[in-house]
Chain A
Amino acid sequence: MRTDRLIPLVLGLALAAPTATAVPAYASMVVAPAEPGLGCGSAEVTRTLASGSAWRMCARIDPIKGLVLEQLQFRPATGARETEGWLPVVDSLYLAQLVVPYDSGAMAFNDITGYGFGDYQLLAQDDQLCPGSTLPVEQAFMFGPQLVERTIPGICLTEVADGLGWASHESNDPGDDRYVQQGRSLEISSVTKISWYEYQQKITLSDQGAITVGLGATGDLAPQEVFYPEDPTTGWPIGPDSVDPTTYATSHWHNAVYRVDFGIGSGDQQVEQWDYEQTDPLQPARLEGVGTTRTEAFQAPDDADPQTWWRVLNPTSVNRDGHPRSYEIVNEAIQNPHDALTRPKVSFTNDHACQEYASDNLNVGCPGLSVPDYVAAETAPLTDPVAWVNVGFHHIDRDEDQSPMPTHWQEFSLVPRDLLAQQATTPPERSCVNGGPVTDTGSCAAINVVPPQVVPDATPITVGTVLRTGHGAWRATRSPLSFQVQWLRDGQPIMGSHGLGHTVTTADQGHRLQVRVDASGYRLVPGTATSAELLVPSRPGPSPTTQPTTQPTTHPQPPRIAVHLGLAASRESHPRLRIRVRGRAGAATGTVVVRGPGGWKRILSLRKGQAVVLLPRAMAVRKVRVVVRYRGDERYLPTRRALRLR
């Protein structure tokens, strides 16, 4: 078993470069809690792509259908910004028939129901077949009176680069702010050999939630002895004319029919059809679209308008905008028009367990039936939709199709439509762009592009040396940024050191200093940047360390949230103020600053979110006003509260 050799994520903007911007690895915001599995044990696949989106499902090899995916669930890179946990989208998905008729009319093969894609036809995935990792497939069947078995790496999982995921400039100035990311996908595949053909079943799951279902055919053209008739109308010459000018490789169809059992959220789902019409001859460009809920099983008409499309939606599962979640069927393949089974672009029925195959059904509950029969027999309203998707490929052989035949593909896609309120890898900078005219410019999040630097005003660094810093450079934001500076000693906040300068003390000697800048603004996702560390020598020496000892870090942080600051004063023998800082993420950490009249000030570290400060008796007697300020930590925003002592 190999491990994934992940192709490094190619970012349009490198993370470490001074111009670094949106950090796509938003997955860090998605804290995966212990969650129940899907109940399929070793067949469960959970993959978080490099761009942060994730998929999970059960993947197995059926003895006849080959690759079967069940319980497909998606989690966007934007995580909790969109939804908590996983979004169920498809209950099951597999190739339900593959009819291969040869144009000569001499032969036709049902490669699924007649030959089968599992058992001994399944090929083991080796390093050459599978560039990713593999899942073991345990197979067993009867050979006469004996049970035989094998376990092979039969399913290939490969994360691939999809090319440009998205790119957007803020304005027409090409030098202006931009957002760029490469797309990622997970490919799940298996390979089956049926005589001269070798088929790859491949399902590609993108970081945008799209599901592309493909069938690749390679291997070799059909054998010349049987399939090269002397009929130029049904074939193509592929040999040298000087040798055999009258033999033609026979053209043929690969008619694939996929069965997709949708499972978007829970509860009843609907099939919606959208049609488009020119209604005003004086405005030929004007198109009016009408959506119709199809309440009964149907097959797409043979002469369907190419503009018409269908989606499956769940009216009770809505995204953050309140729109029903749905998947649209995008089928740009051609359909074989010469067979009632393969003619419609798509047919819809309800999910019936006995309707397993698209034709020559092998389930005794619905013996020998095909999709047209299922459609005709359906009496219930269409609330648990199964799509039977026809994906055809008419293979007219070429010289270039000779051994080994380059893989030819046929595919369709399921594309999310309103599954989410925004696209699945929306960076924090664009998180506030949701509907309405986009008139505001600038990032929705405080994103550091150049970390703050620490510069001593003199060397060697010793007690009294002033270290200076700035805020660093930040991406232009929609509202002004305000900054809070915190100097750190060995990563811990230094009490009271919040300015752009820090005077070195004896406590700093022999320790690493750095500065952290927290940026926030009105309706902005806050951000944090930390400088490189600077080692303060233990004592003045000839070669002070003034070079950074670590790289500066920019932390893409989850948005910090509000915290509750509780104050309780007591006037017993020793007046005291009890401070409690807690929020949804539990007890706060960090420090609080308590100020009173006349410059009275105390800085306290929180322990388990609490601190107690003793108050001067005089202050308590005079019923003065004290102000408590919490500086915030990585999870909580700063806050303050005043209290008049009584």
Chain B
Amino acid sequence: MTTSTPRQRGAALGAVAVAAAGVLCAVLLPTWAAPGELVAADPMPGTEEGAPFRTVGDGSLPEAAPPLRGPHEPLSSAERGYAFRLAREALPDTARDVRREPGGELISADLPALADRTAARLVVVTAYDYATDELHQLLLDLGAGEVVSDQHASGLQLPPTEAETAIALELAITAEPAPTFVVEYRELNNAPLLTADQVSAVAGVWRPAAEALAAPVTDVCGRHRCVQLLVALPTGEYLDTHDIVVDLSAGAVLPAEQEDHRHED
């Protein structure tokens, strides 16, 4: 097991972005490193095939309610941004995101279930508070600028965000002892894997199976926010990451307990 400080991870995040998310383009990198430095023009709706994501304006969240759409209409980017702002303001002051910055990790914003909709413009925002390892689900009324309800629970893990994926990859690359994929990279390329932009990664939630045996990874994951990395070379060739799980809550890389081992007896 190894750890690194949140600040170190935050600094590494920008560099990880490009490699961690194939569709996140390089413009994000300087934007995050120096907010407002690069403002992308709005893409034309429906015209950007295979388009990268771009920062909205200077990346900051709108202060005021944008024009609101009908109750069943997909959210505009501005509505999502405003919903994220309302949610962040409603989260506890102690809430932290994956970098341990204030505000909680804002994971998604979308319409509530059909049965929960009204004539108002309602949005559900889901956020993870790394300070308490709790998932918050806030129902927001964008028109009123109000929080309708705020429920939270532990043990619920939504798919990781791009930022979480980036952090997880950075943690895995710098872990000691080196995970298999880092060794594999060195053997295949005759060069060390030092930075995230040398590979690409997809991350998914990892939680132990119900019948899993006791192990550090099965003990914490689920309560902690753990992810499994699928790491590939630029050629598309996947590296072997099945021996590790990244515990984002602890900032640690854990050896994965394999089911085939569990069933040996």
Residues of B within 8 A of A387 (CB): none
Question: Do B54 and A150 touch across chains, with their CB atoms under 8 A apart?
Answer: yes
Residues of A within 8 A of B232 (CB): 195, 223
Residues of A within 8 A of B253 (CB): none
Residues of A within 8 A of B198 (CB): none
A60, A137, A138, A354 — most chain B CB neighbours (10 Å): A138
CA distance A363 to B110 in the complex (A): 13
From A35-43, A174-182, A415-423, give the one contacting chain B: A35-43
Residues of B within 8 A of A225 (CB): 184, 237-240
B238 interface neighbour in A105, A123, A223, Cβ under 8 Å: A223
Question: Do A60 and B205 touch across chains, with their CB atoms under 8 A apart?
Answer: no
Question: Do B51 and A150 touch across chains, with their CB atoms under 8 A apart?
Answer: yes
A146 interface neighbour in B44, B55, B105, B260, Cβ under 8 Å: B55
Question: Do B209 and A108 touch across chains, with their CB atoms under 8 A apart?
Answer: yes
| Shortest CB distance B100–A (Å) | 12
CA distance A111 to B202 in the complex (A): 12
| Shortest CB distance B77–A (Å) | 4
| Shortest CB distance A128–B (Å) | 10
Residues of B within 8 A of A92 (CB): 113-114
CA distance A577 to B75 in the complex (A): 65
| Shortest CB distance A56–B (Å) | 13
CA distance A65 to B125 in the complex (A): 15
Question: Do A126 and B153 touch across chains, with their CB atoms under 8 A apart?
Answer: no
Q: Check if A151 is an interface residue, CB within 8 A of chain B.
A: yes
A43 interface neighbour in B46, B72, B105, Cβ under 8 Å: B72
- Contacts A106-B260, A124-B50, A153-B46 given; does A148 touch B156 at CB 8 Å: no
Q: Check if A208 is an interface residue, CB within 8 A of chain B.
A: no
Q: Check if A166 is an interface residue, CB within 8 A of chain B.
A: no
Residues of A within 8 A of B17 (CB): 143
Question: Do B77 and A147 touch across chains, with their CB atoms under 8 A apart?
Answer: yes
Main secondary structure of the interface of A (DSSP, over half): mixed
Question: Do B74 and A120 touch across chains, with their CB atoms under 8 A apart?
Answer: no
From A45-53, A364-372, A447-455, give the one contacting chain B: A364-372
Q: Check if A139 is an interface residue, CB within 8 A of chain B.
A: yes
| Shortest CB distance A464–B (Å) | 65
Of residues 316 through 368 on chain A, the ones whose CB sits less than 8 Å from some CB of chain B are 351-354, 356, 360, 362-365, 367-368
A368 interface neighbour in B54, B69, B156, B237, Cβ under 8 Å: B156
Q: Check if B13 is an interface residue, CB within 8 A of chain A.
A: yes
Beta-carbon nearest neighbor of B124 in chain A:
A363
Question: Do B46 and A1 touch across chains, with their CB atoms under 8 A apart?
Answer: yes
CA distance A143 to B56 in the complex (A): 11
Question: Do A196 and B75 touch across chains, with their CB atoms under 8 A apart?
Answer: no
Beta-carbon nearest neighbor of A125 in chain B:
B49
Beta-carbon nearest neighbor of B238 in chain A:
A223
Of residues 258 through 291 on chain A, the ones whose CB sits less than 8 Å from some CB of chain B are 261
Q: Check if B26 is an interface residue, CB within 8 A of chain A.
A: no
| Shortest CB distance B66–A (Å) | 12
- Contacts A71-B72, A106-B242, A143-B17 given; does A367 touch B46 at CB 8 Å: no
| Shortest CB distance B139–A (Å) | 10
Question: Do A70 and B204 touch across chains, with their CB atoms under 8 A apart?
Answer: no
Question: Do A114 and B153 touch across chains, with their CB atoms under 8 A apart?
Answer: no
Question: Do A146 and B159 touch across chains, with their CB atoms under 8 A apart?
Answer: no
Residues of B within 8 A of A150 (CB): 43, 48, 51-54
From B28-36, B140-148, B168-176, B189-197, give the one contacting chain A: B28-36
Beta-carbon nearest neighbor of A43 in chain B:
B74
CA distance A354 to B106 in the complex (A): 20
Of residues 47 through 81 on chain B, the ones whose CB sits less than 8 Å from some CB of chain A are 47-57, 59-61, 69-77, 80-81
Residues of A within 8 A of B46 (CB): 1, 134-136, 151-153
A145 interface neighbour in B22, B101, B242, Cβ under 8 Å: B101
CA distance A113 to B109 in the complex (A): 15
Beta-carbon nearest neighbor of A116 in chain B:
B159
Beta-carbon nearest neighbor of A144 in chain B:
B163
Residues of B within 8 A of A296 (CB): none
Beta-carbon nearest neighbor of A65 in chain B:
B110
Residues of B within 8 A of A196 (CB): 238
Residues of A within 8 A of B71 (CB): 39
Q: Check if B108 is an interface residue, CB within 8 A of chain A.
A: yes
CA distance A119 to B80 in the complex (A): 13
CA distance A371 to B162 in the complex (A): 29
Question: Do A141 and B156 touch across chains, with their CB atoms under 8 A apart?
Answer: no
Residues of A within 8 A of B35 (CB): 145-146
Question: Do A113 and B205 touch across chains, with their CB atoms under 8 A apart?
Answer: yes
Question: Do A138 and B76 touch across chains, with their CB atoms under 8 A apart?
Answer: yes
Question: Do B162 and A63 touch across chains, with their CB atoms under 8 A apart?
Answer: no
Residues of B within 8 A of A226 (CB): 238, 240-242
| Shortest CB distance A92–B (Å) | 5
B204 interface neighbour in A1, A58, A114, A120, Cβ under 8 Å: A114
CA distance A195 to B32 in the complex (A): 25
Q: Check if A140 is an interface residue, CB within 8 A of chain B.
A: yes
CA distance A141 to B97 in the complex (A): 14
Chain A contact residues, CB within 8 Å of chain B: 1, 38-43, 58, 60-64, 70-71, 91-92, 104-111, 113-116, 119-120, 123-126, 134-153, 194-196, 223, 225-226, 261, 351-354, 356, 360, 362-365, 367-368
Write 21 A-B pairs (CB below 8 A) sorted by A numbering.
Answer: A38-B72, A39-B70, A43-B73, A61-B74, A62-B110, A63-B110, A92-B114, A106-B258, A106-B260, A115-B204, A116-B159, A138-B76, A140-B56, A142-B84, A142-B105, A150-B51, A150-B52, A150-B53, A151-B77, A225-B238, A362-B157
Please give 10 more A-B residue pairs, beta carbons under 8 A apart, in addition to A114-B157, A120-B162, A225-B238.
Answer: A1-B46, A39-B72, A113-B159, A116-B158, A139-B53, A141-B80, A142-B161, A143-B32, A146-B35, A148-B55
